[in-house]
Amino acid sequence: MLHRIPVRDLRLGMYISSVDCSWLDNPFWRSRFLLKTQADLERLRRSGIAMVTIDDDRGIGLAPPPAPALPNPFPAQAESPALVVERRANRPRRRRIDELERARETVERSKEAVQRMFNDARLGHAVQMTEVAPLVEEIAASIERDRSAIINVTRLKDKNEYTYLHSVAVCALMMNLARQLGLPEGEVQQAGVAGLLHDIGKMATPIEVLEKPGKLDAEERRIIEDHPSAGHRLLKDSPDVSAIALDVCLHHHERIDGRGYPEGLTEAELSVHARMGAICDVYDAITSHRPYKDPWTPAEALSKMLSWEGHFDRRLLTAFVASIGIFPTGGLVRLHSNRLGIVLTSEGERWTTPTVRVFHDVVAGAAVAVEDVATHNAEGGDPIIRGEQGETWFGDAWPRMLDDLMAGRAPHAPLARGVEQAA
Ligand SMILES: [Fe+2]
Ligand SMILES: [Fe+2]
């Protein structure tokens, strides 16, 4: 059963089902987890987050009522209430600025290391996993502290650094998605390695072709489309490169309808890692600032990707949307009030605070009257606490429910699968 409790009442062994804050302020990159370490507990207490929801079916339950407190023989010096309020108000913002700075440093170091690796590869040297692994760990640590920082920092790429920064970004996106999917830790790391190395075959592509802004002719296209195979050949000859990295390198330009390259494989023939790679690769490419094109905003990019037929694995793409924490029109989200709703508009400045059409109460496990609500805190709204996946809650009924909701009708739907399964 779910209980919403103050952070101060959290104890080790409780299972956190959601954290009451926007994705921008969430100190964790996991949205649900068993609270196992004192460090995580401390981090939550320091985060400025007031409330969390716990699931006592998956962890320990609420604490018994506290024993009467003994008087403290060493009372701390009182702090001025105004100071306490000011410190609390500044805390999440300061933490975020610090993490952006740290993310910038991580990205700079990673970019230089990837550049060295590409140069070595160009000279015919094998990739050294001893150099790759610490980089991936550093990027993973940055995501763990603040998943949006590194992803935002890598969006701005100039011409000379595009491929290197793109590698760092795809590494971060792959690990973030792997976490969202609940893959085991080892696989999360391997997904990161795969992201970092997926375009290493571009070391063999002439720079004029790589950076040509206009349309490519047939020969240039052939040269570009050789980079997955060239990368795969290089990685195959490097020691200790995992099957996941080899697979993603060779297959990140495949499409589920079989119209990708180099092998034209179809959905059933592509591994989950290759399908993840295709999503992370395209997302970073279309949201990046490039000299010759304006980038799409994250919300625009996700909306477009969701509308393309035949490119991506639909379920993985939905998980990806949830992993980014951005809310495209039609996306399912959970609000602070523990209601589920779909995003109605998410444009421009409003992509983190769109209007949401609510229809289901998570705690009651029941439908509620369809209603459009604001999510902007300052406007007295009900803030979004995270993205959800419609299929996880409502199975195959979800696409039809979504149609009903978008049309303003109460969804013609079975009950949700229940709090226990979905939470
Ligand atoms: Fe590529
Ligand atoms: Fe790529």
Chain centroid to CA 388: 12
CB atoms within 10 A of CB 145: 19
With tokens 């939550």, the residue in question is: 44
Is the pLDDT assigned to residue 76 strictly greater than 50?
Answer: no
Quote the DSSP letter at residue 349.
G
Distance 221 CA to ligand 2 centre (A): 15
User: What one-letter code names the amino acid at 1?
Assistant: M
SS3 282: helix
Q: Are 274 and 313 in contact (CB under 8 A)?
A: no
Distance 408 CA to ligand 1 centre (A): 41
* Closest ligand to residue 253's CA: 1
List the strands of the sheet with 366-373, edge to edge: 366-373, 355-361, 339-345, 332-335, 384-388
Q: Are 200 and 127 in contact (CB under 8 A)?
A: yes
Structure tokens at 183: 């893959």
Distance 266 CA to ligand 2 centre (A): 19
How high is the pLDDT of residue 352?
Answer: 65
Contact residues for 390 (Cβ-Cβ < 8 A; gap 6+): 318, 332, 398, 399, 401, 402
Distance 325 CA to ligand 2 centre (A): 22
With tokens 């991506």, the residue in question is: 312
pLDDT-derived band at 70, boundaries 50, 70, 90: very low
**Burial of 124: CB neighbours in 10 Å, binned 0-12, 13-18, 19+:** exposed
Distance 388 CA to ligand 2 centre (A): 27
Distance 249 CA to ligand 2 centre (A): 9
How high is the pLDDT of residue 119?
Answer: 92
Q: Which of 84-98, 217-231, 334-348, 394-408 is the least confident region?
A: 84-98
Q: Are 346 and 330 in contact (CB under 8 A)?
A: no
Of residues 272 and 58, more confidence is placed in 272
Tell me the C-alpha to C-alpha distance, in Å, between residue 305 and each of 122, 252, 283: 33, 15, 8
Of residues 202 and 65, more confidence is placed in 202
* Closest ligand to residue 225's CA: 1
pLDDT-derived band at 95, boundaries 50, 70, 90: low
* Closest ligand to residue 203's CA: 1
Structure tokens at 295: 């980038």
Distance 21 CA to ligand 1 centre (A): 35
| pLDDT tens digits, one per residue of 312-329 | 999 899 889 878 877 777
Distance 217 CA to ligand 1 centre (A): 18
Average pLDDT over residues 49-63: 74
* Closest ligand to residue 227's CA: 1
- Cα angle vertex 317, ends 314, 320, to 5°? 155
* Closest ligand to residue 284's CA: 2
pLDDT-derived band at 159, boundaries 50, 70, 90: confident
Query: Is the backbone peptide bond immediately before 262 cis, with ω within 30 degrees of 0?
Result: yes
Most confident of 157-166, 341-350, 407-416: 157-166
Average pLDDT over residues 371-383: 83
DSSP string, 136-156: HHHHHHHHHH-HHHHHHHTTB
Is the pLDDT assigned to residue 27 strictly greater than 50?
Answer: yes
Distance 180 CA to ligand 1 centre (A): 23
Average pLDDT over residues 2-22: 76
| CA pair distance 411, 423, nearest whole angstrom | 21
pLDDT-derived band at 66, boundaries 50, 70, 90: very low
Distance 184 CA to ligand 2 centre (A): 24
| pLDDT tens digits, one per residue of 124-149 | 899 999 989 999 999 999 888 877 78
SS3 339: strand
Tell me the C-alpha to C-alpha distance, in Å, between residue 389 and each of 23, 321, 358, 376: 16, 9, 15, 22
pLDDT-derived band at 412, boundaries 50, 70, 90: confident
User: What one-letter code names the amino acid at 253?
Assistant: H
Is the pLDDT assigned to residue 423 strictly greater than 50?
Answer: no
| CA pair distance 33, 189, nearest whole angstrom | 18
Distance 274 CA to ligand 1 centre (A): 12
How high is the pLDDT of residue 295?
Answer: 82
| CA pair distance 189, 412, nearest whole angstrom | 41
pLDDT-derived band at 78, boundaries 50, 70, 90: very low
* 263-300: b (≥16 Cβ within 10 Å) or e: eebeeeebebbbbbbbbbbbbbbbbbebeeeebbbbbb
Most confident of 66-70, 141-145, 412-416: 141-145
CA dihedral 19, 20, 25, 27 (to 10 degrees): -20
* Closest ligand to residue 232's CA: 1
Averaged pLDDT of the chain: 82
* Closest ligand to residue 224's CA: 1
